[in-house]
Amino acid sequence: MYLEQKTFIEKFGSKPRVYHMTDTPYVVREYWKKQYKHPEAIEELRCTPVKQSPKGWMTVCDYRTHEDGERNTLNQDVYYINNDVVILK
């Protein structure tokens, strides 16, 4: 392991595990469950591979939501993950 990679992992934690069908990090799925009124109505489309960034582990996720009064809203969000804490940007 390169020294800079070791330093990155010490600062931001290990690379998040992902759900193999959509590459969605499990911690992002848990974040959605807490943030949405009806998390069961979220349709995961795909996430970019998790990669290192200056702000921590980063991924961009596309998903649809079907919340009260909304119709099939397409979302694309950037997520930073630091020690299993999700930060939406």
CA trace torsion 84, 37, 59, 27 (10° rounding): 20
Q: Sorting pLDDT into bands at 50, 70 and 90, what band is 63?
A: very high
Digit-coded pLDDT (tens) for 15-56: 999 999 999 999 999 999 999 888 888 999 999 999 999 999
What is the pTM (predicted TM-score) of this model?
0.88
pLDDT confidence of residue 37? 85
Q: List, in sequence order, the alpha helices (H) in 1-89.
A: 3-12, 26-35
